[in-house]
Amino acid sequence: MSNTLSTKTKLAYGFGDLGAAIVAAIGGFFLNAFLLDVALLPAASVGLIFLLATASDAITDPLMGNLSDRTRTKWGRRRPFLLFGAIPFAVAYFLHWIVPPLDANGLFFYYLLIAILLKLGFTVVNVPYTALTAEMTQDYNERTRLTAYRFSFSILGGVSAVGLHPVLVGLGGEDVKLGYLISAGIMAVLIAVSSLVAFRYTFEPDPETLPKTPPFSFMEGVRVALGNRPFLIVTGIYLCSWLALQLVQTNLLLFVRYWLNAEDSLTLLLLILQITAFAFLPVWSWVSARYSKRTAYLMGALIWSGALFGVFFVPQGDASLMPIVAFFSGMGVSVAYLIPWSMLPDVIEYDELQTGQRREGVYYGFFVFIQKLGLSLGLALSNALLGAAGYLNPETAGVIVAQPDSVLLVLRGFVSLLPLVILLLSLPLAWIYPITPQRFKDIQSELQARKTN
């Protein structure tokens, strides 16, 4: 297995994250408003749906990682799941944007079931896909570059999705529900194609050359993860940064709609944020190679913290400063995408040195769970507090209603101060992250010596 990958291989691998990016971006920015203002679900019900759906992820994500670790086929350990999971994942996404003719109780159970199925589809495809990073190359900086390719497609896919989604919804005219179906159908096709391309043009090492991974239980997988200190630190960094991002994503549309009264500016703000995040991926990759991954994360998180602090003081009805805020936020969001995921493969080498086993799937399973946990907690927490603050559902789908001051205050907090506090919690974790470039070289040398002997 070569440590230097061809551009074609890195492009194919990056394209494989397009499906997850579409689900995360459109779900993050639009799903909450869709369920509240189009499906007309009460805010408390929306929060409960995603809290319950996440409970299933706590089991399925680590188990999927364990399963992919022990799978042996002619296509490898991970790639078969990209092939056979692509279509079910896409169908589950499409079903999430239907408003069936059911009463409030029926809608609650429908969206709960579909949320669980969508998360399961995400698990089956994304856990094995992300675990490929640690197997395709064992070079410290090449892993960061491969992760940069992945998130280049992720961010550009998110930019395209959030820009195209309102246009596609608009094709339904006054029938908002039809517009959502049009958008969901087109996005579902892209979700399936991205996984199939990654299956076709990526590779895995021969499973016979890897250390054997014996079967172990779910609780054993938990014990393995909890016993790896660098993994716990990286997980804390990722959970804090991702939850901060999801809180902003979940509530940004509602904040722009009800506080700024400038919903037409949303697409521009999202484009500035996502394009800036994409543009800074090579910058943070260079900082990581020149100094360390820890240094890159600390710099980006501090910039993002300043932007979040400024959002709280944006005057009501005045969106003029938001493009500047979006630019600096994009700089920080970029490092939150890149660095935790590029740290994770190094943690796996640390585990191999300690145990003699390669368990990429276990660790990536937990990491994908953290990714979905951030989105679900953002939705659950947001809607619980919005409901308590007195959020008003419109009587007709797509209509904007005036919200009470208590709801406006909660929305401001969700896009500024609360994510700021959570993000600041990640800084001491990044500071104590122990796998420096030199330490990684030492780990690789010890592993190589062990294999030689």
Q: Token pair of 50, please?
A: 């995603």
Q: Is residue 208 part of a domain?
A: no
- Residue 298 domain flag: yes
Give domain status of residue 229, yes or no.
yes
Q: What is the pLDDT of residue 363?
A: 78
Does 437 reside within a domain? yes
In a domain? residue 324:
yes
Q: What tens digit of pLDDT does each residue of 120-174 get?
A: 999 899 888 988 887 887 777 787 788 888 878 888 888 888 889 989 998 988 8
The answer to whether the CB of 361 falls within 8 A of the CB of 68 is yes
At 87 the pLDDT is: 96
pLDDT for position 222 = 67
Rg (CA), the chain: 21
**Count of domains observed in the chain:** 1
Domain with 192, as residue range(s), is 7-202+215-452
* CATH classification at residue 19: 1.20.1250.20
206-259 tens-digit pLDDT: 656 555 555 555 566 667 777 788 888 988 898 899 889 888 988 888 899 899
pTM for this prediction: 0.72
Instruction: Extract the tokens encoding 66.
Output: 């364990």
pLDDT at 218: 57
User: What pLDDT sits at residue 1?
Assistant: 47
For 69, 72, 159, 350, the CA distances from 212, given in Å and listed in that order, are 9, 11, 41, 16
Q: Report the alpha-carbon distance of residue 268 to residue 295 in Å, rounded.
A: 31
Which pLDDT tens digit goes with each residue over 418-444? Answer: 999 999 999 999 999 988 788 878 887
Domain-embedded: residue 273: yes
Residue 166 domain flag: yes
Is the residue at 182 inside a domain?
Answer: yes
Q: What is the pLDDT of residue 353?
A: 79
pLDDT of the residue at 25: 86
Q: What percent of the chain has pLDDT over 70?
A: 91
